[in-house]
Structure 1
Amino acid sequence: MTTSEIMPQLPQSILIIGGGVFGLSTALSLSHRYPTHNITLLEASTTIPNPEGSSVDSSRIVRADYANPAYARLAAAGIERWRTTAWGAEGRYTQNGLVLVYHKSSSGEAGRQGQDDGERYTRASYQNVKRLVNNGDDKIVQFLPDRDAIQKVLPRDVHVAESVAAGYVNWGSGWADAEAGVRYARKKLDELGVVKIRTGQKVSRLLFADQKDRREVTGVQLADGSTLTADLVILATGAWTPGLLDLRGLADARGQVLAYLRLTDEEQAKLAQMPTLLSFSTGMFIIPPRNNELKIARHAYGYRNPTRVRFDSSGAEEAEVSLPETAGRPIPPEGEEACRAALREMLPWLADRPFTKTRVCWYTDTPQGDFLVTYHPDHPNLFLATGGSGHAYKFFPVLGDKIVDALEGKLEEDLQRLWRWPAQRTTTTSFVTKDGSRSGRKDMILKEEYARGLKL
């Protein structure tokens, strides 16, 4: 059954759950296409941006550098919006370039596999983005065949680790102020006035027309016991989605480390114009500082936070899934050491500086790192817009249109193939995201890493 056969036209009442990138972008697109519909957006936090969400800190990489051509094309369209429209105005987007590197192979099969993934992903990204961006100008995307070539495109105060083998620079990439972008999207929705936005509304479960059949979703129950009904429910709840719906084997919350440190005015000036530096072999990246604050983070396999939940939409009495931890603790010692090690390699003069703050940022990972933008096969009026896998923010200006295309059954074939509900599903408590851009340990449990740190 195709999407168009499921729901060729959108019903009058629509409920969007979640006020992050997926929810806000969907709401914006629906506002333009269905200005007379009854559309409501619920956000669990009392504010948008949600301080516990993934898109609330200072910066996100904006790149068309993907090994998959479909994502590369969509990201290039997004970058054009960041560059040329109000989306990127007032400092919300900065085009500073991106240096992607991979490292020399380490000894041992496990190390070799990780290094090969980084090299393959980097080289495939280079080929895709070169065709998209260069347009005959080889100065925009340049292959950097060795460590010395990489060092030449970086400020002298940024070092290239001895283990780096090669990479490339894309001067057409940049970064976005994540929180400012979310605030801008909320402002646009307020100005359009189509979508009713209700904050401080945490959803506790889905409601069904028939408790035995559990097929037609009629709405949601909120944490305070009240209910809301709609003909179409869109789950855009990010890393919290696996707690509302049985997505075992399809989506899982994973925590990633990020840390900040303060810079002097002189240090800010040294690094302000540097390109973003990202290694797909180690997952570590550094984004240029703003307002005397430098961010270092890791895009890796991440931490799981196993949690026992009950699903209203499955026969399982209770199941274990990974959900975000919201205790607000600093990152585990393992994560801090990873950030310190990266600083020792890239910015050794900052390696021992105290972090002003650290945070675990929660992704909604999927097995291949693809988004999950599709109708639920068992609930025809329930639509999922989730599975960002740590790389959705860059698509913010164009993502909503693609989500609504999927709602209407007219999403282009390559994206539909990537974002559809899988034909086969493995119900497992855990999986490894195999998108080629991850590295590091695959078995980290958040509470175990905190406990291990206490023993050190």
Structure 2
Amino acid sequence: MSELEPIAIVGGGAWGLSTALHLHQSGYTNITVFETADSIPSRYSAAYDLNKIVRAEYEESFYTDLSLQAIEAWKDPLFGPYYHETGYIVATSGSAPAKAKKSLETALASVSKHPVFAPGIQALDSSDGFKKYAWQITGPLKGFTGYHNRLAGYAHSANALKGIFLHCATLGIKFVLGKTAGTVTELVYTGQGASRKCTGIRTADDKVHPATKTILASGAWTASLLPSLGNFVTARSWSVAHVQLTEQECDYLRGIPVINVRDLGFFFEPDPATRLFKLCPLGAGFSNTDAEGTSIPPMVRKPQPQDFIPAEDEIKLRKLLQETFPWMADRPFVDKKLCWFADTSDSEYCIDFVPESNKSVIVLSGDSGHGFKMMPIFGKWVVELLENGEQKVDRWRWKTEDERGKDWGDGVSWRIGKGRELSELIDEARRGSLNARL
């Protein structure tokens, strides 16, 4: 395609912005990003958050090597302001199930032999060992084992979205925002059979925007626009909670590494601007499955599932704090929410042309909770797909198998437990509220 032809990107989250940036860097000049939110960072993006882990521990070299490339790109002046290489502690508690312990052992074996990581890996098997790298820990750490990895940390995700958005805007990349003008309601096709092709998009204000290529990067909501994607990509959510700290407490915890306890959850150093200490429990996640077996985030929330986290997750986080920072363990959780991802059964991304679109539609999906770290380099993979005319990486191709209804809790090593439905959680929250009033 000509570099002057129009490209529409649906979604202004981490992958959509990265794609816009790399397309521009590759010479494409007619790029428009459509985003439902009225500002970026978009509250609909999974990256609308304080921070995300940036690490390269994987059980195979493919994603390890890509993550190392991403970490180097995070140190570029454009992305560097949002990256914090605080180090990374991975652990299991004394009561961790066998699956969590095996996942940790596999990750440690992988990084211990890797030439880039090996010099900065330290195995930890005592509370004193952990406190060498996080001296602020006052909890007992009963039965904790793990390791410290120097080459890892986190990125301030919402700030990264805002910064890259502003940079893209200065380059002349166009943005259409808002619930009417920026919400894409339909892909517009012409032709039939082999000649069928997407020629643009329709937005909620009933305007049609011509596009030679349409790139779908709308995360967990993509299947609402492209139903066939829901056969192998499901919207899944995980809990997020925060503790509000004082300025002194925030300073006390400054510089702690990211700590990820595989059977409980993980946390980051506090955010200095808001003084919020973010925690996330680990598990198999929560879905919102419809009658056809497709999960899409709820469009109408009654009651708002963003205003609570399940009781089972709060228990995990309380235990995590009791073992690490017991002085915080009974503090109220604030800004509780469910964060939605586009998830796949094997945690593989989907970066490919949509079948029967005559290569006019590209879908970027399946971040599976490990996509944000790739933001600085992700867009170059989309450029390669465009210029190659096909996806050469087998694992990122469109899947033809219908995987709806599959139990994905057991399919990925780091996911402990069984997945559940959002409706169950809402019912439990209602009953809990009623019992509290009685």
Q: Normalising by the residue count of structure 1, what TM-score does the alignment of the two structures yield? A: 0.85
Q: Residue 150 of structure 1 is aligned with which of 97, 118, 130? A: 130
Change (3 A) 1:267 1:214: farther
1:30 pairs with 15, 19, 23, which one? 23
Structure 1 residues 452 and 435 mapped into 2: Cα distance closer, same or farther (>3 Å)? same
Contact 1:157 1:270 in 2 (8 A): no
SS across alignment from 2:360: strand
| Residue 455 (1) aligns with residue 431 (2) | yes
| 1:233, distance to aligned residue in structure 2 (A) | 1.0
Rounded Cα–Cα distance in structure 2 between residues aligned with 1:247 and 1:340: 37
Counterparts in 2 of 1:251-290, with a 5 A limit?
Answer: 251-282=233-264, 284-290=265-271
Match of 2:86 in 1: 96
Q: Which sits farther off after the overlay, 149-158 or 169-178?
A: 149-158
- 2:285 aligned to which of 302, 307, 322: 302
1:198 Cα deviation after fit: 0.8
Question: Structure 1 residues 411 and 214, CA, compared in 2 at 3 Å: closer, same or farther?
Answer: closer
| Aligned partners of 1:278 and 1:285 also within 8 Å | yes
Q: What do the CA deviations read for 1:307-332 (whole angstroms, capped 9, x no partner)? A: 46xxxxxxxxxx34211235453123
AA aligned opposite 2:168 = L
Partner residue, 2:294: 321
Distance between the aligned counterparts of 2:334 and 2:115, measured in 1? 37
Instruction: Encode CA deviations 1:136-168: one digit per residue, 9 max, x unaligned.
Output: 7x3x2222245553343322435363243x211
String of CA shifts for 1:200-251, please: whole Å, max 9, x gaps.
Answer: 1111122221377794222222222222221211111100011111223310
1:202 matched residue in structure 2:
183
1:247 is paired with a residue of what secondary structure? helix
- Partners of 2:193 and 2:356 within 8 A in 1: no
**In structure 1, what residue type is equivalent to 2:123?**
F
1:219 paired with 2:200, answer yes
Give 3-state SS (helix, strand or coil) of 1:253's partner: strand
Distance 1:393 1:156, change over 3 A: same
Give secondary structure in 2 for the equivalent of 1:124. helix
TM-superposed deviation, 1:418: 2.3
* 1:93-138 C-alpha deviation (Å, 9 max, x unpaired): 11111001134576xxxx5xxx32x3333333334434556477x3
Unaligned runs of 5+ in 2: 433-438
- In structure 2, what is the equivalent of residue 356 of structure 1? 334
Identical positions, percent: 28
Q: In 2, Cα distance between the equivalents of 1:244 and 1:402? A: 23
Question: Per-residue CA shift, 1:27-47, capped at 9, x if unaligned?
Answer: 0000011244x2221111111
- Give the C-alpha shift of residue 377 in structure 1: 2.5
**Which amino acid in the other structure matches residue 447 of structure 1?**
S
Report the counterpart of residue 42 of structure 2 in structure 1. 50
Q: CA deviation at 1:437?
A: 1.8
1:421 corresponds, among 370, 376, 398, to: 398
**Contact 1:155–1:271 (8 Å) recurs in 2:** no
Structure 1: which 5+ residue stretches go unaligned? Answer: 1-7, 309-318
- Tell me the distance in 2 between the aligned counterparts of 1:343 and 1:352: 9
Shift in Å, 1:346:
2.4
Find the partner of 1:390 among 353, 364, 369: 369
322 and 135 in structure 1: CA distance in 2 versus 1, 3 angstrom threshold: closer
Asked if residue 80 in structure 1 is aligned to residue 72 in structure 2, the reply is yes
Paired with 2:283 and 2:7, the residues of 1 have a C-alpha distance of 35
| Cα shift at 1:298 | 2.4
**1:295 CA drift (Å):** 0.5
Q: Return closer, same or farther for 1:183/1:250 CA change in 2, 3 Å cut-off.
A: same
Match runs of 1:14-29 below 5 Å:
14-29=7-22
Q: Tell me the residue number matched to 2:435.
A: none
Match for residue 229 of structure 1? Answer: 210
Give 1:243's aligned amino acid: S
Structure 1 letter corresponding to 2:203? L
Residue type of the partner of 1:436? Answer: S
SS at match of 1:391: coil
Change (3 A) 1:11 1:322: farther
Query: Judging changes above 3 Å, is the alpha-carbon distance between structure 1 residues 384 and 412 closer, same or farther for their aligned structure 2 residues?
Result: closer
TM-score, scaled to structure 2: 0.88
Letter paired with 1:271 = L
Alignment CA distance shift 1:102-1:222 (3 Å) = same
Aligned to 2:436: none
Q: Distance in 1 between matches of 2:398 and 2:193?
A: 24
User: 1:411 Cα deviation (Å)?
Assistant: 8.9
Any idea what SS the aligned residue of 2:338 has?
strand
Contact 1:286 1:295 in 2 (8 A): yes
Q: Say which SS state the counterpart of residue 251 (structure 2) adopts.
A: helix
CA 1:197–1:21: 2 relative to 1, 3 Å: same
Alignment of 1:128-139 (within 5 A): 128-132=110-114, 134=116, 138=119
Checking the alignment, whether the CA contact within 8 Å between 2:3 and 2:28 is kept in structure 1 is no
Distance 1:211 1:366, change over 3 A: same
CA contact (8 A) 2:87 2:151 kept: yes
Asked if 1:445 is matched to 2:421, the reply is yes
SS of the residue aligned with 1:289? coil
* Matched residues, number: 419
Q: Do the aligned partners of 1:303 and 1:445 also contact (CA within 8 Å) in 2?
A: yes
Please report how far the alpha carbon of residue 427 of structure 1 lies from its aligned counterpart in structure 2 after TM superposition. Answer: 4.6
1:359-378, aligned counterparts within 5 Å? 359-378=337-356
CA distance 1:133–1:93, shift in 2 (3 Å): farther
Q: How many angstroms does 1:342 deviate by?
A: 2.3
1:30-65 deviations in whole A, cap 9, x for unaligned?
Answer: 0011244x2221111111111132111211111112
Query: What letter corresponds to residue 401 of structure 2 in structure 1?
Result: R
1:22 deviates by 0.9
172-181 vs 211-220, which deviates more? 211-220
Residue matched to 1:408: 387
